[in-house]
Amino acid sequence: MKKKQGARMDKYLLVSVLSVCVGIFVWWLVTDGLGLFRSNVLPSPVKVCQTFLKKWVEARPDGATLLQHLMASLKVALGGYLIGALVGIPLGIFMAWNDKVDMLVRPVFDLVRTIPGVAWTSVMVTLVGIGYMSKALVIFISAMVAMVINSYSGIKQTKTVHLWVGQTFGASNWDLLTRVAIPSALPMIFTGLDVALGSAWTTLVAAELLASTRGLGFMIQQARGIFRLDIVIVGMVVIAITGAILSSIIRKIGDRVVKGGRLR
């Protein structure tokens, strides 16, 4: 059975690789191939690759190499994300577990969660200035919202009969929470971590477009100003790849932590 599954995975991988290749081929065809778009409107994949390689060592035109931009973005995104997880997961769990906490926090949370993360940018810039803090705070808010929502529903979806098993064995409230509700909610908590990562990463780029001196979003913004679309696309590709890598790391951790084949 394992073998069969492996074969299906290989097939799936093949199809994914193929679809990416076809996409890149079509892109090449409409630029260099047939010349439908001029290179200052839509740069060809070859041009983008060249820029991509060059940008690792060249600080022009925006004052930093690709690696420096990437590290700046990662530092902000992961900082905000981790604090968002440290606050959001316990908050979601306790809101779901304790009605009093729920009543206290819920109204504020329901208001905050409808605000797009980027909308906080101006407020944060006014409060703490352009820099690490303002962006990290914006990301913290958008990541935390996703974590709270998912941990909350994870705990709420705990099966009554599982809690009853604990109760009839005489489990304390703490045992019920830590041995029944939280393990039962783990798949949802990991979904939250994944979703929050996505929203942290997209919010980051948006925040950098508005308030930054370095970072992938900043690089895109600068390149746009001087019509260097090749750099814009390099930025987009790096964002996509980094996001995919981070997301797969979260899933790998999830596979180790969530027992009993309950993920996906």
Partner 1 sequence: MEKKEPKVVVNHLTKKFGDLLVLDDLNFEVQEGEFLCIVGPTGCGKTTFLNSLTRLYEPTAGEILVNGIPVDPKKQDISYIFQEYSSFPWLTVEQNVRFGLEIKRVPKEEADASVEEMLDIVGLTKFRSYYPSQLSISMLQRVAIARAFATKPELLLMDEPYGQLDIDLRFKLEDELLKLWKKTGTTVLFITHNIEEAVYLSQNIMVLTNKPTSVKTVLHNPLPLPRDVMSQEFVDLRNQVTDLIKWW
- For residue 172, what is the DSSP state? -
Find the binding residues for partner 1 in span 220-259 (CB under 8 A). 258-259
Nearer to partner 1, 39 or 184 (CB): 184
Nearer to partner 1, 161 or 245 (CB): 161
* Cβ-contact 188, 153 below 8 angstroms: yes
243-64-198 Cα angle (round to 5): 15
180 near partner 1, rule: CB under 8 A: yes
- For residue 14, what is the DSSP state? H
Nearer to partner 1, 166 or 198 (CB): 166
Alpha helix stretches (DSSP H) within the chain: 2-28, 45-55, 66-97, 99-113, 121-128, 132-156, 160-168, 173-175, 182-210, 216-225, 229-257
113-133-55 Cα angle (round to 5): 105
Nearer to partner 1, 106 or 159 (CB): 159
Find the binding residues for partner 1 in span 105-144 (CB under 8 A). none
Question: How many CA atoms are closer than 13 Å to the CA of 47, on its beta-carbon side?
Answer: 18
Find the binding residues for partner 1 in span 147-166 (CB under 8 A). 159, 161-162, 164-166
Find the binding residues for partner 1 in span 38-77 (CB under 8 A). none
Handedness of CA 212, 88, 158, 252 (dihedral sign): positive
Nearer to partner 1, 34 or 161 (CB): 161
- For residue 42, what is the DSSP state? S
| Binding residue (CB under 8 A) for partner 1 from 114, 168, 174, 256 | 168
Considering only 77-85, 102-110, 174-182, 227-235, which stretch makes contact with partner 1 by CB under 8 A?
174-182
262 near partner 1, rule: CB under 8 A: yes
183 near partner 1, rule: CB under 8 A: yes
What's the chain's length in residues? 264
| Binding residue (CB under 8 A) for partner 1 from 39, 184, 242, 247 | 184
Kindly state the number of chain residues that form the binding site for partner 1, as judged by CB under 8 A.
23
Nearer to partner 1, 114 or 168 (CB): 168
* Cβ-contact 138, 82 below 8 angstroms: no
Nearer to partner 1, 182 or 223 (CB): 182
Residues with Cβ within 8 Å of residue 36, at least 6 apart in sequence = 30
261 near partner 1, rule: CB under 8 A: yes
Q: Residue 130: what are its φ and ψ, rounded to 5°?
A: -75, 130
| Binding residue (CB under 8 A) for partner 1 from 3, 5, 169, 245 | 169
Binding site for partner 1 (CB under 8 A): 159, 161-162, 164-172, 175, 179-180, 183-184, 186, 258-262
